Structure 1
Amino acid sequence: MVSRTHKILASVAVAGFIAGCASKPPNVQSISSSANPTAEIEKTEAMINEARSKQIDVLSPENFTDATKALDKAKQKKDKDKPNAEILEQVAYSRAWLNEANTRAEIARTSMHQITDAREGAMKAGAPKLYPKEWEKAGKDLEKITVAIEKGNLSPADKRGEEIVSRYRDLELKSVTKAYLGTAKDNLDTAKKAGADKSAPKSFGMAAMKYENAEKLIKADPRNAPVIARASQDATRESQHLMEVTRKVNAGNSEELVLMAERQQRTISNLRSEYSSTEQELQTVQSEAERQRMELEKQQTLLNRAQALRSQLKPNEAEVFTENGKLMVRLKGLQFPTAQSNLGPKNQALLKKVEGALAGVTPKKVIIEGHTDNVGSAEANRILSEKRAQSVENFLVSQGTLPAEKVESVGMGYDNPVGNNNTAAGRAQNRRIDLVIETE
């Protein structure tokens, strides 16, 4: 008995069929004559391709075909340089037929949800390529049902729906099995023909068990790809092992001897792997120890150079320390009056002493940092600090000890104080020069 829902769907489908019999599609939405024919054709073609990806060509084949035909006519008219109005009329027809196809497909989809789901599963499993004849036959039978639905007749779907679902489900199972277990099945069949079920029963039994386990998982849920993939890989690997054992047995060995030799080989491989791992760990430890030794030597060399500098400069002249792998010389005795950058005689005398001390540490690079107190604006202090650093750079380079390419001066402004800017003594400390020395 046809249900009330089916009667409603049938009445809607019949109305659509009557409209479909007209010379032109129903509900045509005209396109403005100012529209670009090429753009409208491309847009409609994209709509048709999207509909095809949603199986509209299967669920509403007649309307879908009319839509593609109308679009082809539009392309032909465009190629023949027909008026835009004629081209756009066919594009409008194509879209109207496509709308009808979408409407009828929704009706078909409602009536045949299980069929479309089964077909989609078989298609994703690769049935069209793996079993082309069966796929084509099922498609023809499905088309008869969808055409009937399109014309308002749901009876074929009610009568043959379960049969079509079953055929597509079977195709899905067969396709998944062949795709995932094809190699394992071929290996098992080849091994059996070679008598492996009798000459190598342990290996044959293990390979057959792995295959059956994967097959059961596919039958339980052919769409659980991760689980099926793992089980199938296991089955394929075991079938390849069976082929290798069969080859050795047929060469005159017993299966027991072959399997024993494999166990011994695995033991040897494991021991080699453990030895290799231990050797790599030892090399890693040695490399780390060597790195630490070199780092300590580097640090000690840096400390020795700092001490050498410190021994040539008085505590009130400079503070020498190491920081981030570099020598730091804070010129405490180098004082600048507020807002000035000129080097006085006392400053020049100290810089000559510093220059002599630097010669003993072979500097690779010397960055001269100028610093100020916080009196005045940030920009003014940055410029002032840069001028002070530049004054020191000019003096040191002029003496010839430091080549110009090894010296760089930068102005730090008042961003890095070492004294309290709220006191006169602190501000004096902040008006300073720091030498950052990178050694060879």
Structure 2
Amino acid sequence: MFPQKISALLVFMLATGFIGCASTPPNAIPIAQTANPAAEIEKTQKLINEARERQMDVLSPTNFTKAEQALNKAIDKKSSGKSNEDILEQISYSRTYLKQAADSTQLAIRQLPGIQDARRGAMIAGANEAYPRDWNRVGKELESVTKSIEKGNLSPSDKKSAAIIGEYRQLEIDAVTKRVLSQADNNLKAAEKDKAEKMAPRSYTAATMKYQNAAKIIAANPRNAMAINKASQDATRESLHLVEVMNKVKQGNTEDLVLQSEKQQRAISSLRKENNMNEAEMNEMARQQAELQRSQMLINQAANIRSQFKPSEAEVFTEKGRVTLRLKSLQFPPNQASLGRKNEALLERVNEAIETTGPARVIVEGHTDSTGNPNRNMTLSERRAKSVQDYLVANGAVTLANVEAVGLGSTKPVSDNKTATGRAQNRRIEIIIEPLSR
């Protein structure tokens, strides 16, 4: 059952002929034959413009269209020199259709509570331009319902009212989101493509949270301009920071190094502004930052070299500002220093790894286990280190001027000499790479 008030209005409109419009409206609003056609045309055009502002063109589309058509006929008749009677007749029809449109619009507003506000909000947000297909689709759904209302059929509006209003509300939210968060959204998508969630998780999380916060504020109230402006600026700024971090990470830095460096730069800048940092303190902070960057560079170099070897072939680590390449699978014949063909494949990759670092200096260390005469072990370890040194020089990884071969015998074991496994681990070559200062 319809509410009693709406039912009464509907019966009234059916009885007076305001629903189900004919080509010539019944009960046309009379206009005095002495009226000035030009003034009446101008007045009617103003009424139509006001009706469009009230969205009567979509809430009573048939009546509104006929009102416009009748006014256009009046204008054409005036231009053609027709009689004032003919012109005023069309103006009368136009105003009658406008009256019917106004009555039908009131019923539509009752049937679709909030439709004017929802549609106006979506339009102000620019949904008609941002999402033209969705805008037109929802517009057609609304037109179908309001045309049914004009004919006295309220059933479609009972079924579709909430859905149509909800779609306009969502279009407003989507349009505002697109307008204020598009840059942040694009930055996040680009970062996700570069695997930012894995490579820069802290920055990615911060940017994502700022974006989600702004989106929630918009969804809660897309017209809260002050809160939306602040939240969207925060989201955009955080997304730009993520892009900057990712650019540095892709150059070989870690996120931790980038963030630490930024923190130090902010601290230096802040202290400079406050004039509380003397030259010695500034130099010390700059030194710490340079040391941090150098440490990260070493870590990156070690990781790059490590990726070129299997764990059974070599161990790579950083120590005392240098990268150490411990060759685990390099084997010599007992009591000999000749490299042999079986070591060539490994040494070729060692040679390539050293070349990529562009070292300032390379030290080749030879080590033995504790079995046998210590002096002989020292000599043997030196000869083996010299063999590797010769190979690296011959193959271009280093020059003779920046490589040194050192024999350390059994003085620096890495495992227990009491077991066969431990002794095997102690018989090794270690290559220490000192990087260029940067």
TM-score (normalised: structure 1): 0.59
- What SS is found at the alignment partner of 2:114? helix
Q: What is the alpha-carbon distance in structure 1 between the residues aligned to residue 170 and residue 41 of structure 2?
A: 40
Q: Please, which runs of 5 or more residues in structure 2 have no aligned partner?
A: 276-438
Work out the CA distance in 2 between the residues paired with 1:37 and 1:3: 43
Q: 1:5 to 1:31 in 2, by over 3 A?
A: closer
Q: CA RMSD in A?
A: 2.2
CA shift digits 1:26-80 (9 cap, x unpaired): 4433334443323322221121111111100011111100100001101111111
Cross-structure match for 1:192: 192
Q: Which runs of 5+ in 1 are unaligned?
A: 276-440
Please give the residue correspondences for 1:13-412 in structure 2 after superposition, counting only pairs within 5 Å.
Answer: 13-15=13-15, 17=17, 20-274=20-274
Tell me what 1:8 maps to.
8
Alpha-carbon distance in 2 for matches of 1:115, 1:137: 16
Structure 2 equivalent of residue 347 of structure 1: none
State the shift of 1:151 in Å.
1.4
Provide the rounded CA distance (Å) in 2 between the counterparts of 1:109 and 1:43: 26
Residues 43 and 18 of structure 1: is their aligned pair in 2 closer, same or farther, counting only changes over 3 Å?
closer
CA distance in 2 between partners of 1:29 and 1:4 (Å): 28
The amino acid that maps onto 2:224 is N
Contact kept? 2:17, 2:26, Cα under 8 Å:
no
Distance 1:237 1:272 in 2: 24
Task: Encode CA deviations 1:171-215: one digit per residue, 9 max, x unaligned.
Answer: 222222222212111110111101111111111110001011111
1:244 Cα shift? Answer: 1.3
Cα distance in 2, alignment partners of residues 2 and 34 from structure 1 = 45
Over 3 Å counting, the alpha-carbon distance change for 1:252 and 1:168 in structure 2 is same
Structure 1 range deviating more: 161-170 or 197-206 = 161-170
Distance 1:235 1:17, change over 3 A: farther
Matches of 1:28 and 1:14, distance apart in 2 = 15
Partner letter of residue 138 of structure 1? V
User: How many matched pairs?
Assistant: 276
| CA distance in 2: counterparts of 1:63 and 1:203, whole angstroms | 57
3-state SS of 1:113 partner: coil
Corresponding residue of 1:336: none
Over 3 Å counting, the alpha-carbon distance change for 1:2 and 1:31 in structure 2 is closer
Quote the Cα distance in structure 1 between the aligned partners of 2:99 and 2:151. 16
**Which has the higher mean CA deviation after the structures are superposed, 99-108 or 264-273?**
264-273
Does the CA contact (< 8 Å) of 2:187 and 2:239 recur in 1?
Answer: yes
Q: Partners of 1:72 and 1:227 in 2: how far apart?
A: 46
When normalised by structure 2's length, the TM-score is: 0.59
> Compared with structure 1, are the counterparts of its residues 17 and 127 closer, same or farther at alpha carbon in structure 2 (3 Å cutoff)?
farther
Q: Closer, same or farther in 2 for the Cα pair 1:195/1:23, shift >3 Å? A: closer
- Alpha-carbon shift at residue 230 of structure 1 (Å): 1.2
Task: Tell me how far apart the structure 2 counterparts of residues 88 and 120 of structure 1 sit (CA, whole Å).
Answer: 34
Output the CA distance in 2 between the equivalents of 1:212 and 1:140.
32
Provide Cα deviations, 1:54-107, integer angstroms capped at 9, x if missing partner.
100011111100100001101111111212222222122211211211111111
Distance 1:250 1:157 in 2: 56
1:112, CA displacement in angstroms? Answer: 1.2
Q: Which string of whole-angstrom CA distances, capped at 9 and with x for unpartnered residues, describes residues 391-411 of structure 1? A: xxxxxxxxxxxxxxxxxxxxx
Q: CA deviation at 1:228?
A: 1.5
Partner of 1:354: none
Query: One-letter code of the match for 1:209?
Result: M
Using the TM superposition, give the Cα deviation of residue 169 of structure 1 relative to its aligned residue in structure 2, in angstroms: 2.4
1:12/1:236 Cα in 2 relative to 1: closer, same or farther (>3 Å)?
farther
The letter for the 2-side match of 1:238 is: E
Change over 3 Å in CA distance of 1:22–1:216 after alignment to 2? closer
Q: Does the CA contact (< 8 Å) of 1:12 and 1:152 recur in 2? A: no
> Structure 1: which amino acid aligns with 2:196?
A
Max radius of gyration: which structure? 1
Cα distance, 1:181–1:80 mapped onto 2, change above 3 Å: same
